[in-house]
Structure 1
Amino acid sequence: MTEPLKFVTHSIDDYAMQVTYNPATNEGNVVYNLSFVKNEDLEFVIGILKDAYKTGLAASGLVKFLGSGEKISDLVVPEGQTAVCTVCSVTLDGLLIRRGIPINPIGGGVVEIENRNPIRFIHMILYEYTTIDPLQVLNSQRLTSVTSVMRRGSGKILANIREFHMEAESLVGEVLDELSDSSFIGILEVGMPNVPLLGVPVSPQFIAVACVGGTNPLAAIKEGGCWVQTNAMKGLMDVSEMKEIRDY
């Protein structure tokens, strides 16, 4: 029997419900992205990951590397390659749900940045209409200039957006305050009730939150001319298995 198509909205819900990460103790499961790079590019990759974290263009500074032959999820790292696990911004959706805050994932896209300030989404794919992660699709189209944002403060980055009811604003604020002292740094912008955020409309009585895409560092690696293969929202991982990128 053929399995039914699973739209990204449903995948986000499935993974978010399984997030157990506690920012206060830095324990629990997070959603991760899985990428493969060539071994000879690893030093460059680590440098980009560090720069992305320093400039706030990564969802988190937590990362895990696996060498050739090691197994991750249902895959074995191919010969001559290194697997890179980074935190996915869908982890935020899980944190909000754990606080009893219903969220509506809207979509993923490309955000224009000027002088380190987000201006607007210039590309957007809605989660409810795609079975492939929007940021994975947009990254493959080479629409970003993440390196330019890291170096000069202006360019185009990957980001996603979700909304929550305005009555939960104080609860969301508490979650975001807790994240400010954790390894999760991916908050791009928080909107106002009934007001579009970065050009994206919200439902009546809702507020939107935009997050930096967890695959931005991988987009920057691709911009640097290196081969990289990315699988967004690959699964769940205990943060105890990950290390801060600054420790490499």
Structure 2
Amino acid sequence: MTDPDVQRKLIEIMRIIAKSDKPLGARLIADELQNRGYTIGERAVRYHLRVLDERGFTKKHGYIGRTITEFGLKEINDALIGGRLDMVITRIEELVYKTTYDPQEKKGNVIVDVSVIDKRDYEKALDILKCAIDAGVSISPRIKVLDEGSEEGDISVPDGKFAIANVCSITYDGILLRNGIPSTLLYGGLMQMKAHKPVSFVDIIGYSGTSLDPIKIFINKRSTSVLDYIESGTGKLLADLRYVPGSAKEKAREVMELAKGSDIGGYLAIGETGKDVFSVPVEKGKAGISVFAGSNVITAIAEAGIPVNAYPAYSIMDYNMMKKLE
């Protein structure tokens, strides 16, 4: 289990099986993985189960399903502590490192949020998505729609569903890193908007030391009012905050302005060195940068009453594979 993404999925599958008092099949496991924040289909689960069988962590009982072995229970216990500590920030750091997008060349990989929606809601969901993008609450107007059964990297779309991949705001951290600017992601939160302008953060959650993505917490709490903002210019939108060295502030501004030329925008402010950004304190010698969260466009769909399984900062994708909605 060398790949961190694969390891997390295998451990999570074993945890699901271990909690059951009877053998579990791939479909039930896939459903539970969806509930736990993994976009993985039944076919991909079957592949992972074969890996677990081969390593002696699970035992197959014909067509009934799998049970956990003693060896598997030991593996779960060994992985339990490490799997919980800083899981979100560690995964984000991996994605930032894998970001290859070059704003000058206008090509490379970006980080994407992934959302899974029932196919019956396809037309309504895309109509709302278009409205949200037109209202300027996204990082980029480019998206990729994946149909049921599609597999794109580590994205696997279950039967009866479709998935939307949109550009995640943490792509900026990858772009900054590629340009020699280290950034530290601090908070995800709710930005109060009035007259189409950002006013202040009204709630924030730190990325460090948590096993839950702050943006997903706010989505699940239904704390946003994206549709209100689209209609009136006033509402609460998802945003995040990172800082860069104060000496790199102007170069960061140049890089982020350059990114606008390839439809990657959504940043709200680059603060003065050591000064608060939208009411959030910033360390001495650092400059804060606040950016809309890419998940705002998906949150608008959820606010309209359409069930959405949202997975912020989930994977990377070639930006040129993503297209604007017609």
> What is the TM-score with the length of structure 1 in the denominator?
0.94
Q: Secondary structure at the match of 2:99?
A: coil
Find the counterpart in structure 2 of residue 32 from structure 1: 112
Counterpart code for 2:162:
T
Find the counterpart in structure 2 of residue 21 from structure 1: 101
Q: CA deviation at 1:117?
A: 1.1
Alignment root-mean-square deviation, CA = 1.4
Mean alpha-carbon deviation: is it higher for 212-221 or for 45-54?
A: 45-54
Q: CA deviation at 1:46?
A: 1.6
Find the counterpart in structure 1 of residue 41 from structure 2: none
Contact 1:63–1:86 (CA under 8 A) maintained in structure 2: yes
- Within a 5 Å distance, the mapping from 1:164-175 to structure 2 comes to 164-175=244-255
Higher relative contact order (CA 8 A, sep 6+): 1
Q: CA deviation at 1:75?
A: 4.8
Q: CA deviation at 1:129?
A: 2.5
Find the counterpart in structure 2 of residue 119 from structure 1: 199
Specify the structure having the higher radius of gyration (Cα): 2
- Could you list the runs of 4 or more consecutive aligned residues of structure 1 that deviate by over 4 angstroms after TM superposition? none
How far does the alpha carbon of each residue in 1:109-161 deviate from its partner, in whole angstroms, 9 at most, with x for none?
11111111111111111011311210011100000000111111000010100
Find the counterpart in structure 2 of residue 244 from structure 1: 324
**Where does the alignment leave 5 or more consecutive residues of structure 1 unmatched?**
none
Tell me if 1:185 matches 2:265: yes
Distance, in Å, in 2 between the alignment partners of 1:43 and 1:176 is 33
> What is the TM-score with the length of structure 2 in the denominator?
0.73
Tell me if 1:57 matches 2:133: no
Tell me if 1:110 matches 2:190: yes
**Where does the alignment leave 5 or more consecutive residues of structure 2 unmatched?**
1-74
Find the counterpart in structure 2 of residue 233 from structure 1: 313
Contact 1:106–1:161 (CA under 8 A) maintained in structure 2: yes
Counterpart code for 1:175:
V
Distance, in Å, in 1 between the alignment partners of 2:263 and 2:168 is 12
Q: CA deviation at 1:205?
A: 1.3
Tell me if 1:47 matches 2:47: no
Give the length in aligned residue pairs: 246
- Percent of aligned pairs with the same residue? 31
Counterpart code for 2:138:
A
Find the counterpart in structure 2 of residue 144 from structure 1: 224
Q: CA deviation at 1:185?
A: 1.7
Q: Secondary structure at the match of 1:230?
A: strand
Q: CA deviation at 1:86?
A: 0.7
Higher strand share: 1
How far does the alpha carbon of each residue in 1:77-107 deviate from its partner, in whole angstroms, 9 at most, with x for none?
2222111111111100001111111111111
Contact 1:56–1:185 (CA under 8 A) maintained in structure 2: no
Tell me if 1:212 matches 2:292: yes
Find the counterpart in structure 1 of residue 234 from structure 2: 154
Q: Secondary structure at the match of 2:208?
A: helix
How far does the alpha carbon of each residue in 1:214-240 deviate from its partner, in whole angstroms, 9 at most, with x for none?
111111101101011011111111112
Counterpart code for 1:187:
Y
Higher helix share: 2
